[in-house]
Amino acid sequence: MDLREQLCGRYCSFYKPSRDEAVACGGYRVIEKLSATMSLDLVSCAETSSSYTRERISAVLCAACPFYRDDCDFARNVTDAPPCGGLIAIASLVEQDSISIDDLLSVL
Ligand code: SF4
């Protein structure tokens, strides 16, 4: 199973398997970089996390995301849209102590 299936397919409500995604969101990029040096269990990781953790992650992750300015309603708070799957997965990994905010900052 590749990262798009493990991450986007499981966590992201915006993911369309048939679409050729040339640009990856900031969350995907972070998970991809961290996976190169850490063992991240995206399969058994919880799909839920607190809004507090998601806001902490968003504060450092979203500003570095190519979708932040024009394409992400969650980051712009214009609707009650959910965050991308990358942010959801990162927040869950942080809550279960698989990664830290410092790990996240090290690859941004
Ligand atoms: S929530 Fe939006 S801005 Fe933040 S990383 Fe995901 S796609 Fe990018």
> Helix (H, G, I), strand (E, B), or coil: what is residue 99?
coil
Q: List strand residue ranges (DSSP E) for the chain, in order.
A: none
pLDDT tens string 30-59: 999 999 999 999 888 887 889 899 999 999
Average pLDDT of the residues of the chain: 89
Domain boundaries, the chain: 3-106
Atom 2 in ligand 1: which residue has the minimum CA distance?
A: 72
pLDDT at 27 (0 to 100): 92
Report which ligand 1 atom has the smallest distance to the Cα of 27.
5
Q: In the chain, what percentage of residues exceed pLDDT 70?
A: 97
With tokens 């996976």, the residue in question is: 35
For residue 20, what are its two tokens?
């050729």
Report which ligand 1 atom has the smallest distance to the Cα of 61.
5
pLDDT tens string 10-22: 999 888 888 776 7
CA of 75 from ligand 1 middle (Å) equals 6
